[in-house]
Amino acid sequence: MPILRLPKIPAAEITDPAVYAQRRRFLQATAAGLAAGALHLPAQAAPAAARGEKLPDVRPSTWRVDEKPTPFETIVSYGNFYEFGPDKDSPAKHAHRLQTRPWSVFVEGEVKKPQRFAIEDILKWAPLEERIYRFRCVEGWSMVVPWVGFPLAELVKRAEPTSQAKFVEFVSLADPAQMPYVRVPVLDWPYTEGLRLDEAMHPLAIIAVGLYGEVLPKPNGAPLRLVLPWKYGFKSAKSIVGVRFLREMPRTAWMKASPAEYGFYSNVNPDVPHRRWSQSHERRLGEFGKRPTLPFNGYAEHVASLYAGMDLRKFY
């Protein structure tokens, strides 16, 4: 499999675009008595990113872009994880509450045998690989991330979906004891995302369990999350506790919140603007200037065939 080599284009230092509609709902909930004070969360700065336990026997993958990875501290301290708060530094401030052991993932729906997998068994399914992927957020910022994980197809195969299964839905943890902002109706909790079955089987789609060769940090979706590099970042569900195989397309969390802005496919497409952000250019964290957004985030040669014949302005 050839090494992916994406064009070297000047990149940009990010500004922090507000998620206006969702923030407004958050502030309304605050006025109703669900503010951070009511949640007993003291004001604090985001702590320095802590390094985690090294993962054993991680091998390099040929799925890696020829670009400099974003620093570990930046990846861990800047991102979206609404269960821990609405700001980019909220996960770094509050995700230390997350308990990642014990952990298991239920599998149900159109499968031969509904079951539950312990994470200790999941980690033995396939050799762990480091894949250096470009990661693009719908808000316009991007990173280059050295994820550690294994193909999502390994989970699909072990689930043994029936011939009726056409879609896969992923369910994230929603525990208000650990995730205080689950008490705030920013989204319809638990967070859910979905894929067509053929998308889930694509070799680019992985379950990440690590970052920079170490156990996945809690602010980034520990202990396991999706990584779908040709789609906007919100498709890569964090802290997964359940997988459902379905006959019909599921309505995901962001589709429920704002269907005109967040479609099911959410492929990176510079020609389809979000209602509040242009997608034609992006800003790479830690760099100056803007760079053009690449179709499918630069992975078109590998994934465009999945959408042959589809109107990607309609199926956004």
**158 in any annotated domain:** yes
**208 in any annotated domain:** yes
pLDDT tens digits for range 149-202: 999 999 999 999 999 999 999 999 999 999 999 999 999 999 999 999 999 999
Q: Binning pLDDT at 50, 70 and 90, where does residue 52 land?
A: confident
pLDDT above 90 (res 12):
no
Arithmetic mean of pLDDT, 280-286 = 97
**2 in any annotated domain:** no
Q: Which domain holds residue 50?
A: 20-307
Arithmetic mean of pLDDT, 120-143 = 97
Handedness of CA 45, 233, 223, 50 (dihedral sign): negative
**92 in any annotated domain:** yes
Q: Calculate ∠ Cα 230-262-189, nearest 5°.
A: 105
**116 in any annotated domain:** yes
CATH number, position 289: 3.90.420.10
Give how many domains the chain has, as a whole number. Answer: 1
User: Is residue 303 exposed (0-12), middle (13-18) or buried (19+ Cβ within 10 Å)?
Assistant: buried
pLDDT tens digits for range 254-279: 999 999 999 999 999 999 999 999 99
Q: Binning pLDDT at 50, 70 and 90, where does residue 44 land?
A: low
pLDDT tens digits for range 294-311: 999 999 999 999 999 999
**15 in any annotated domain:** no
pLDDT above 80 (res 21):
no
**315 in any annotated domain:** no
pTM above 0.75, yes or no: yes
**66 in any annotated domain:** yes
**CA dihedral of residues 316, 207, 18, 28 (deg, nearest 10):** 100
